[in-house]
């Protein structure tokens, strides 16, 4: 047998053997295949049942993402984010300046309080009819549970809060926490810090337009050469903070969105103030005024819009009680000021005033229509 014949004969043997072998293989594969099919049908069937019992996991994939989902404010303010997570999320900034939807800018009223807000009936009246133009945020002691009725504009406006100590960094932390929570609502444009003793001095339209049309943010920032100003500066803050840049001002600020973000994102000045501005350096009087003077001097008015009476002297401004609330007193609070608003002299300098005791509520409600226009 030649080599070629041998190959051929081998081939013919193989070809004769093939049908039997391949039939065996075919049957084996059929059995395996059917088994696999049955198993997989059972498996996916169970999966389907599981999916049907969990409609959310399915709808997540089915509802297409719309812009609305990105721009709607959080429904529940009581999130589970840490400050670190919150500040990171709150400082997302769109790079495209034009909004691809109709944005109505809002004022965020941020209440920094320990417990109750006794003057809310006055605020409710001030805010009535202006829904959609403002938002409310409350930072109080974590142990305090407010009991606003569900129809109140203050209902459910509490943010996750922590204990604060006056004059310490924990107070600035609370203010940054308020700003960060308010930044999560993309429509908030102006951010007002208030206390439980604050009252509005004009009707909502005047306050709203005064803030929205302002070229500047309102924060007290002045260079005090004395012991309670420059005297509190610590050399260790250099080079981030130089003594000529050191500023003082009351904590009750009003900021636009840009400056609110710059305060929440700050990691440059924070450690310096935390370490080197401790009592008798009161960090809440220096951190934001100094930082904003360094970073954005051309955007700050260097004055506050929250009136307070220092005329009685002492370490604390006057607190007003029921008997102080007279027509003469309110006239004095509203008039007899001049200041600069958008580079022009203006008689309207203060939009809010403090410190009003809880028992002033009655007389204030009586006189508000005549003096405050609400």
Smallest gap from residue 253 Cβ to ligand NAG (A): 14
Q: Which is nearer to ligand NAG, 208 or 356 (CB)?
A: 208
**Residue whose CB is less far from ligand NAG, 56 or 298:** 298
Question: CB–CB of 77/157 below 8 Å?
Answer: yes
Exposed/middle/buried for 366, CB within 10 Å: 0-12, 13-18, 19+?
A: exposed
Separation in Å, CA 242 to CA 69, 237, 239, 250, 265: 45, 7, 6, 20, 21
Stretch that binds ligand NAG, among 26-34, 84-92, 153-161, 297-305 (CB under 6 A): 297-305
Task: Find the shortest distance in angstroms from Cβ 178 to ligand NAG.
Answer: 24
Residue 302 within binding range of ligand NAG, rule CB under 6 A:
yes
| Cβ nearer to ligand NAG, comparing 31 with 238 | 238
Provide, rounded to whole angstroms, the least separation between the CB of residue 203 and ligand NAG.
4
Q: How many CB atoms lie within 10 A of CB 134?
A: 20
**Distance in angstroms (rounded) separating the CA atoms of residues 205 and 199:** 15
Task: Check binding of 300 to ligand NAG (CB under 6 A).
Answer: yes
Size of the site for ligand NAG (CB under 6 A): 14
- Whole-angstrom Cα distance, residue 187 to residue 199? 24
Tell me how far, at minimum, the Cβ of 242 lies from ligand NAG, in Å: 3
Tokens of 162: 């922590």
Residue pair 51/57 in contact by the 8 Å Cβ criterion:
yes
Using CB under 6 A as the binding rule, whether residue 13 contacts ligand NAG is answered as no
Can residue 242 be called a binding residue for ligand NAG (CB under 6 A)? Answer: yes
In angstroms, the Cα distances linking 247 to 146, 220, 267, 290 are 36, 9, 19, 5
Of 51-59, 93-101, 293-301, 316-324, the window that binds ligand NAG (rule: CB under 6 A) is: 293-301
3 state SS of 164: coil
Closest CA to 193 of 119, 112, 86: 112
| DSSP, res 364 | H
Nearest residue to 294 via CA among 253, 259, 252: 259
Taking the C-alpha atoms of residue 140 and residue 371, their distance in angstroms, rounded to an integer, is 30
The pattern of x and - marking residues 344 through 373 that bind ligand NAG according to CB under 6 A reads: -----------------------------x
Q: How far is the CB of 207 from ligand NAG (least distance, A)?
A: 9
Question: Please, what is the minimum distance in Å from the beta carbon of residue 105 to ligand NAG?
Answer: 18
CB-nearer residue toward ligand NAG: 81 or 212: 212
Among 206, 318, 348, 367, binds ligand NAG (CB under 6 A): 206
Whole-angstrom Cα distance, residue 341 to residue 346? 6
Residue closest to ligand NAG when measured from CB atoms = 242
> In this chain, which of 244, 311, 328, 344 binds ligand NAG, going by CB under 6 A?
244
Residue 203 as a binder of ligand NAG (CB under 6 A): the answer is yes
184 in contact with ligand NAG (CB under 6 A): no
Q: Does 306 bind ligand NAG (CB under 6 A)?
A: no
**Shortest distance (Å) from residue 155 CB to ligand NAG:** 24
> Taking CB under 6 A as the rule, does residue 293 contact ligand NAG?
yes
CB neighbourhood size of 62 (10 A): 7
With CA atoms as reference, report the closest residue to 365 among 118, 99, 125.
Answer: 125
CA distance 137 to 156: 9
DSSP run (H or E) holding 18: helix 3-53
Q: How far is the CB of 301 from ligand NAG (least distance, A)?
A: 5
Q: Which residues here bind ligand NAG, judged by CB under 6 A?
A: 203, 205-206, 216, 238, 242, 244, 293, 297-298, 300-302, 373
């Amino acid at each position: 047998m030649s080599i070629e014949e041998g190959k051929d004969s081998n081939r013919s043997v193989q070809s004769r053997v093939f049908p039997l072998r391949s039939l065996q293989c075919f049957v084996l594969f059929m059995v395996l295949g059917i088994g696999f099919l049955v198993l997989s049908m059972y498996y996916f069937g169970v999966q389907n049942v599981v999916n049907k019992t969990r409609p959310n996991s399915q709808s997540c994939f089915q509802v297409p993402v719309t812009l609305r989902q990105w721009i709607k404010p959080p429904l529940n303010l009581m999130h589970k984010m840490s400050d670190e997570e919150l500040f990171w999320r709150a400082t997302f900034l769109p790079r495209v300046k034009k909004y691809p939807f109709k944005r109505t800018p809002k004022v965020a009223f941020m209440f920094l309080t320990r417990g109750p807000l006794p003057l809310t009936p006055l605020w409710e009246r001030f805010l009535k009819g202006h829904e959609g133009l403002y938002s409310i945020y409350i930072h109080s002691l974590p142990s305090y549970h407010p009991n606003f009725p569900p129809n109140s504009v203050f209902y459910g406006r509490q943010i996750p809060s922590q204990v604060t100590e006056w004059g310490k960094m924990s107070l600035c932390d609370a203010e940054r926490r308020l700003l960060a929570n308010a930044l999560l609502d993309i429509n908030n444009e102006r951010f007002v810090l208030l206390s439980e003793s604050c009252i509005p001095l004009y009707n909502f339209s005047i306050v709203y337009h005064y803030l929205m049309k302002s070229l500047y943010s309102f924060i007290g920032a002045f260079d005090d050469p004395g012991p309670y100003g420059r005297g509190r500066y610590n050399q260790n803050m250099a080079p981030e903070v130089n003594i000529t840049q050191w500023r003082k001002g009351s904590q009750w600020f009003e900021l636009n969105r840009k400056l609110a973000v710059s305060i929440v994102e700050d990691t440059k000045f924070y450690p310096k103030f935390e370490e080197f501005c401790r009592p008798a350096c009161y960090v809440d009087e220096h951190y934001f005024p100094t930082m904003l003077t360094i970073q954005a001097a051309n955007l700050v008015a260097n004055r506050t819009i929250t009136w307070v009476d220092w005329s009685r002297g002492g370490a604390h401004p006057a607190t007003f009680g029921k008997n102080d609330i007279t027509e003469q007193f309110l006239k004095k609070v509203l008039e007899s000021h001049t200041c600069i608003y958008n580079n022009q002299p203006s008689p309207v300098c203060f939009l809010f005033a403090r410190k009003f005791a809880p028992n002033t509520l009655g007389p204030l409600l009586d006189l508000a229509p005549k003096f405050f226009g609400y």
